Structure 1
Amino acid sequence: MNIVVVGLSHKTATVEIREKVAFAPTHMDKPLRELVALEDITEGIIVSTCNRVEIYATTRDIAGGMARIKRFLADYHHIPMETLEPHLYSHHGEAAIRHVFRVAASLDSMVVGEPQILGQIKTAYGYAAEYKSSGIILNRFLHKAFSVAKRVRTETKIASSAVSVSFAAVELAKKIFGDLSDKTVMLIGAGEMCELAAKHFLNNGVRGVMVTNRTFERAVKMAEEFDGKAVNFEELFDHLHKADIVLSSTGAPHHIIGPKDVEEVIRRRRQKPMFFIDIAVPRDIDSRVNKVSNVYLYDMDDLQGVVATNLEQRNREAQKAEGIIDQEIGQFFKWLSTLDATPTIVALRGKFEEVRQAELEKTLANWKDLTPEERKRLEACTAAIVNKLLHQPTSLLKRAGQGGRTDLYVDALRNLFDLEMTAQTTETEELGELEE
């Protein structure tokens, strides 16, 4: 049984293509049922995010299975195959395992180290478990992917530095002030960048948010969103001294805050430090503000420099993460390789146990004067004999499976002992055999 991956991502497809192939997260029952109904596809999971759509599946027919999954994606979304196929990638075996481990660890993300993808894969796995489209192999595989991602985050600093302008502003504020829990943020402007920065600041515990904008209604709307206070733009300098952190992003063609303004604000604050973040282009805040005592001013170039440095650090940490993934691939592939031998091991044990029980019952039927304790000892003795007889062939089969050489031994044992492969080889039995 082979693991295969078929999908597309921000690296191979534009957003226009990705949105056409996306699956609605609240309606996964139908696509998952159709996926595992495909010929020779035994298990399946669908991961659908804004940056990628991927299918993880198991099949004995690698080429045929991947071709059927591609056709499924095209047919399900009513996209001509010739339009979709150039954007698709496919992996099988060790390459598939590596790909999923890298995706879960956020090494394949648009922003390396972002935490959202792991939660999205866990959600996709939850749907597969709910609708019973995953089984022994993908269950084990996804749990291993989750543990790999956790190892990467624990043993590297891949997610420890800010790689967006808005979050870099928060990180700089924390370096200046330390604890942000008693700090107030003033947003000058009500655009997307200000909104995103406000979310980051609130997530990092700031006490409150004030919002001002030339259009007061927009300031009110954003302030309500963050449970903050709206300020009339004309009254900006009446309230600026209340802010510890000021983030400005307006469309003004000239400076709206100069050094004289800030000197007065600092005087009213009794020289308590202030942090100004100017992400407007052209700039809202005169660069000479940075010369005022107890004032820190960063503009867009400063923030992008921080982001670039942090991205370099993340890329260095990503190399460490790749090493972790190399280790984990070997462990999982070793387990996967033993699965071909597992049904034979279970059937062989079952055959010996059947013979043991039959012969023991014959013996006990003619041995009437045995005490319960003696019967128990005889039961244990025969069980021990069977276990010792089976130890060597069982170990040999497992070692052969890890080396990918099971066929010769499996065929020989099946013929020698006339073993039947039945549905009685349950998931629990398989895992139990493999983890002894």
Structure 2
Amino acid sequence: MSEVLAIGVSHKTAPVAVRERLALTPGRLAEFLRDTLAVGDVQEAVAVSTCNRTEVYVVAGDPVEAESAVLAMLARKAGIRPTELANSIYALRNCDAARHLYRVTSGLESMIVGEAEVQGQVKRAYDEALTAQTTGPLTNHLFRDALATGKRVRSETRIGERRLSVSSVAAALASEQLEGLDRREVLLVGAGETSELAARALADHGVEAIFVANRRRDRALSLAQRFGGQAMSFDELPAQLVRADAVICTTSSPHPILTGDEIAAVMEARGGRPLLILDLAVPRDVAPEVREVPGVSLYNVDDLSAVVRRNRSVRQVEAQHAEGIVEEEIQRFAEWLGQLEVLPTVGALRARGQEIARQIVRENAGRWESASPKDLERVEALAQAVVNRILHEPTLRMKGMEDDRIHLRMQVIRDLFGLEEEQDGALAVQPPLAEVRELHRSRRQQG
């Protein structure tokens, strides 16, 4: 049977220096998904890539082969050996994979517990896979249920209270570092969702002026107008960097847009005034060597962890309630997933019993030379009745299973009875018992 597999890295397992090398930009996501379907018997694929994680969810007939293949793809993407990446990678199967996705969508796996932005990020990832036509029955059910779970968590708990996000924490850190943001000027580099959240948080902190730089001037203008700021092109960045008190970078550029040499020149023009840079992008917008430029204070998404820890205790009680909701929803998913395997396993088990009965009849065919066709029918009926009687109770129990261990139990049954799968993923079913009659007729004619 096909299995669900989740393979990925997150802020819990890998630093930003590794995560940025695995980030899947919107332009490359569809290509990566289609490439995934070409390896390791992968039948379905969805990839979630945010500043804090890159995760690939696949459905495959051979999860071991699929895990190895996807790991190799991610290693090539990062430009490192799979063995080096293995320490940062986690691989989860079936209900464990679903539980992880449900937790991600609910904000339980976020750096800032309960952040709302991750739900939209997961939805966009699923929409990208739908557009690329790489989803299927299992991933469709999995992601729709995960999104519904995230929505339920936020409607039934207060885990998202105060709407904390990486952007709001960055604004709080800027306020702390600059001893308040009143009458301060802040430059936003990028005009996406993260920048919008940052602009809103900065406005709440009393920032005097917000400047927005983006490659697409229309988006920069739209964001600036909403928060009483000004829009500019990337060509105007150097001049504004000299003027700003703080810079928040949020683009999805695959390469740094602020280098050490550029910032060194900016600091020289600032005449000794310090500059605070908050890089919220993955891959990073600001080259690591900028941290060494005198007068610059550079923070990336991993550096926000200290601020995050101060907010974490506020949400722990609500997080426990959310955990309970996730487990309820996982139970439903487990039952659905298990039922996908019960009927094929029951059918294959009965087919195996019939084959054993046929084999015994064949092995003893030579002892019944004088048996009439009626006698042979009685022997076959008796053999079939024995098979049905033996398998009756196991069949009822298998059909009645309703817990999150159904998949494991079905796997044990298939292993115990040697119920091998055919290449198309269907459990093998043997030909009908009637072929035994033909075998006996053939032998009687030969005799």
Band of TM-score, shorter chain: 0.5 to 0.7
What residue in structure 2 maps to residue 322 of structure 1? 323
What residue in structure 2 maps to residue 90 of structure 1? 91
* 2:199/2:210 contact within 8 Å kept: no
What residue in structure 2 maps to residue 374 of structure 1? none
Residues 152 and 227 (structure 1 numbering): CA distance in 2 closer, same or farther, change over 3 Å? closer
What residue in structure 2 maps to residue 68 of structure 1? 69
Distance (Å, rounded) in 1 between the aligned partners of 2:200 and 2:108? 25
What residue in structure 2 maps to residue 188 of structure 1? 183
Residue identity matched to 1:26: G
Residue identity matched to 2:105: A
Distance (Å, rounded) in 1 between the aligned partners of 2:145 and 2:13? 26
* 1:45/1:125 contact within 8 Å kept: yes
* Correspondence list, 1:14-413, <5 A: 14-161=15-162, 163=164, 167=168, 187-191=182-186, 198-200=199-201, 210-211=208-209, 228=228, 311-341=312-342, 398-399=399-400, 403=406, 404-405=409-410, 407=414
Bigger relative CO (Cα 8 Å, ≥ 6 apart): 2
State the TM-score, normalized to the length of structure 1. Answer: 0.54
Residues 68 and 413 (structure 1 numbering): CA distance in 2 closer, same or farther, change over 3 Å? closer
What residue in structure 2 maps to residue 430 of structure 1? none
Distance (Å, rounded) in 2 between the aligned partners of 1:148 and 1:195? 26
Per-residue deviation at 1:126?
A: 1.0
**Aligned with 1:53: secondary structure?**
strand
Distance (Å, rounded) in 1 between the aligned partners of 2:62 and 2:47? 19
* 2:184/2:207 contact within 8 Å kept: no
Distance (Å, rounded) in 1 between the aligned partners of 2:347 and 2:143? 25
Per-residue deviation at 1:209?
A: 7.9
Over the matched positions of the two proteins, sequence identity in percent amounts to: 32
Distance (Å, rounded) in 2 between the aligned partners of 1:58 and 1:169? 37
Per-residue deviation at 1:124?
A: 1.1
Residue identity matched to 1:14: P
Deviations 1:199-220 (A, max 9, x none): 2376x8x9x985499xxxxxxx
Residue identity matched to 1:41: V
Per-residue deviation at 1:162?
A: 5.3
* 1:43/1:134 contact within 8 Å kept: yes
Residue identity matched to 2:82: M
* 1:187/1:211 contact within 8 Å kept: no
Distance (Å, rounded) in 2 between the aligned partners of 1:138 and 1:11? 24
Distance (Å, rounded) in 1 between the aligned partners of 2:3 and 2:82? 24
Per-residue deviation at 1:417?
A: 5.5
What residue in structure 1 maps to residue 7 of structure 2? 6
Residue identity matched to 1:57: V
Unaligned 5+ runs, structure 2: 173-180, 189-194, 212-220, 231-243, 247-274, 277-305, 349-392, 421-426, 434-447
Residue identity matched to 2:37: V
Q: For this pair of structures, how many residues does the alignment match?
A: 284
Distance (Å, rounded) in 2 between the aligned partners of 1:195 and 1:104? 21
**Aligned with 2:332: secondary structure?**
helix
**Aligned with 2:26: secondary structure?**
coil
Distance (Å, rounded) in 1 between the aligned partners of 2:315 and 2:40? 42
Residues 44 and 197 (structure 1 numbering): CA distance in 2 closer, same or farther, change over 3 Å? closer
Residues 414 and 123 (structure 1 numbering): CA distance in 2 closer, same or farther, change over 3 Å? same
Per-residue deviation at 1:395?
A: 7.6
Per-residue deviation at 1:112?
A: 0.7
Q: Decide which structure has the larger Cα Rg and report it.
A: 1
Residue identity matched to 1:159: G
Distance (Å, rounded) in 2 between the aligned partners of 1:74 and 1:21? 8
State the TM-score, normalized to the length of structure 2. Answer: 0.52
Distance (Å, rounded) in 1 between the aligned partners of 2:33 and 2:322? 31
RMSD, matched Cα: 4.6
* 2:4/2:94 contact within 8 Å kept: yes
* 1:161/1:314 contact within 8 Å kept: no
Distance (Å, rounded) in 1 between the aligned partners of 2:82 and 2:129? 26
Residue identity matched to 2:140: N
Per-residue deviation at 1:122?
A: 1.0
Residues 149 and 23 (structure 1 numbering): CA distance in 2 closer, same or farther, change over 3 Å? same
* 1:163/1:308 contact within 8 Å kept: no
